[in-house]
Amino acid sequence: MLLVKYVVGIFAAVFLIVTTSNAQVGNTLVLKEKGRTIQSWIEKDCITFRFSNTQWIEGRIKTILKDSLLINMYRAQQSPTAFGGFRVDTTWLGFLKISINEISGLPQSRFKSGMFTNGILFKMASGAYLFLNIANSLIKGYPLLDAANTTRLLVAAGFYGIGTLQKQKHKAYLPIGKKYTVAIY
C-alpha cells in the first residue's frame, strides 16, 4: 500500500512539473537563410528588427502566436550618474502587436566585420596608395602626371571607386525576402 502511494505521489509530481514547465513552449520565431536556420527566438527573448516602415524596433517578445508577435518595446540608453559615470537606463514603451510579414529586416551579427564586403578594404588600400604616391612624387621631385604614374593613379582611383560601389550595395542588415525568411514554428 505504501508503494502505491509512493508511485502515485511521484506520478502526480512529474505530471505537475511537465504541465507547468515552459521548457518546450512550441512557438519559435526562426530566421532562415535559404532554408537553413540562422537564429531563433522564443518568448521572453529580446529582439531587434526593422519594421515595414523602416523604423528599427527593440523589444522583448511577450507572446508568439501563429502569424504574429506581441512585443514589449523598450529603449536602452546611457544616462549620467551623480558621480560622473554612466548607467544604462531602460524605458519601456508599451506593447506592439505585429505580423511577421511586417518584419523587413534583422541586424547583421555583431561578430561579422564586413570589411571585405562593404568596400572599406578597397577604399583604405587605394587611399593609402594614392597618398603615398603623391607624397613621394612631390618629395622626390618626380613629375606627378607622367605616363607611368598617371596609369598607377588611375588604377588606384578605380579601386577606390569599386570600394564606393561596394559600400552603396552593402546593407548593414539582413533584408527579409528571397535569401532570408522569417517563420513561426
Give the contacts of 127 (CB within 8 A, at least 6 positions apart): 160
Identify which has the larger pLDDT, 53 or 7.
Answer: 53
pLDDT digits (tens, 9 = 90+) for 155-180: 999 999 999 998 888 777 889 988 99
Model confidence at 122, pLDDT cuts 50, 70, 90, reads very high
Is the Cβ–Cβ distance between 39 and 21 less than 8 Å?
A: no
- Measured in degrees and rounded to the nearest 5, phi and psi for residue 160 equal -65, -40
Q: Considering only CA atoms, which of 149, 183, 175 is closest in space to residue 50?
A: 175
* pLDDT for 22: 57
* pLDDT for 18: 67
pTM of the full structure: 0.63
In this prediction, residues 100-128 reach a mean pLDDT of 84
pLDDT digits (tens, 9 = 90+) for 32-88: 999 899 999 999 999 999 999 989 999 999 999 888 999 999 998 898 988 989 999
Model confidence at 26, pLDDT cuts 50, 70, 90, reads low
Mean pLDDT estimate for the chain: 87
Q: Is 26 left (phi over 0), alpha (psi -120 to 50) or beta?
A: left
* pLDDT for 110: 65
